[in-house]
Amino acid sequence: MFGDFDPRDVDSRERDDGIRDREDQYLSLGRAGGGLTTEPDDDVRSRDDDARDERDRDVRDRHDDRALDPRDVFARHLDLPDGPDRELVRDRDRDYLLNGSESRTLATIGAFRVVSERDLRDPREDGDDLRPLERQGLIQSVPLNEREHAATLTRDGHGLLERHRDARSEGRQTFYAGADRARERSHDAQVYRAYLKAAERLQAREARVLRVELDRELKREYQRFLQERNRGNRDSDGRPNRTPEEIEEWAREHGLPYFDEQVHFPDVRIEYQDANGDVRWEDVEVTTEHYRGAHGAAASRSGFSIHAGGRSGGSTPFDPHAAEEFLR
């Protein structure tokens, strides 16, 4: 999704969690990318044999009903309750009561940053997962429009997830707190819906989702690449000095398309393990009625899986110079 970025809108403790979009005179980023068969090079993204063996050990029995829950992946590496009964969870100077469904809901909200409340209702669970989480200060409700609300993590909820990762979870699923401005939330909330459809397709092919990466995470990696030569250089003006050839190579290595002199990013990258045990990814783009002209053409050219969404806010290109706020 495209949207204006103002570093003043992001709490200093949260600034490394996301990158917004705005117009820039030097580099303009849109979206597009690889599809289901896109595979990274052997030396890309640090997918070594140990990581694969570790993931293999996490494979759940596909005949287990809970393996059908698309939220399972996000709580897999969390040391939180996973059964039907609420258990006491101690976190610094606070105590919480959570059951397995609430743990999975909390992790899912963190993974997607903002999720429509109606999409979080689990028809297989009794009761309401959201009210206990909100009463305990772990999530908050934010409006999407006049009829619909979404849930997002509070800082306490985010901290709970981060402090209850198991020893193997470093570098796995990223969690976020807070929500973007109101005009961007409608689009963002549809990313989880797109994930649900993709997860269903993957499950039908006996694939197993490993994690998701939002566009902001991929853009953050790109920012670090652009600014790598500027770090520690007091004479730097903060402008990226990468050549178009270097940028194109970076995009190729990360399975992202490069055309019209731009790197293009999906709304979400779904990393999964196929039936043969190979790690792959599917890139998904949520399109709305605002995808017209150049934006619509780029989405069509992207090679991403396209999810037709509803209404969303306005859009402008992404600003690579915003990196200065995130890399200090």
Instruction: Return the pLDDT at 307.
Output: 80
Please indicate whether residue 172 or residue 280 has the higher confidence score (pLDDT).
280
Strands 279-287 and 305-308: parallel
CATH number of 69-189: 1.10.10
Overall average pLDDT of the 108-131 stretch: 82
Nearest C-alpha neighbor of 209 from the set 262, 257, 173: 173
Q: How many CB atoms lie within 10 A of CB 169?
A: 16
Beta strands in the chain (DSSP E): 87-91, 94-98, 115-116, 139-143, 149-153, 208-214, 258-259, 262-263, 268-273, 279-287, 305-308
Ranking 89-98, 152-161, 166-175, 216-225 by mean pLDDT, the lowest is 166-175
Domain ranges of the chain: 1-62+206-328, 69-189
115 vs 152, 250, 277, CA distance in Å?
7, 31, 30
Instruction: Return the pLDDT at 88.
Output: 97
Nearest C-alpha neighbor of 20 from the set 202, 265, 256, 227: 265
Overall average pLDDT of the 298-305 stretch: 72
Spatial CB neighbours of 291, under 8 Å, sequence gap ≥ 6: 299
Does residue 265 register a pLDDT over 70? Answer: yes
pLDDT bucket at 296, cuts 50 / 70 / 90 = low
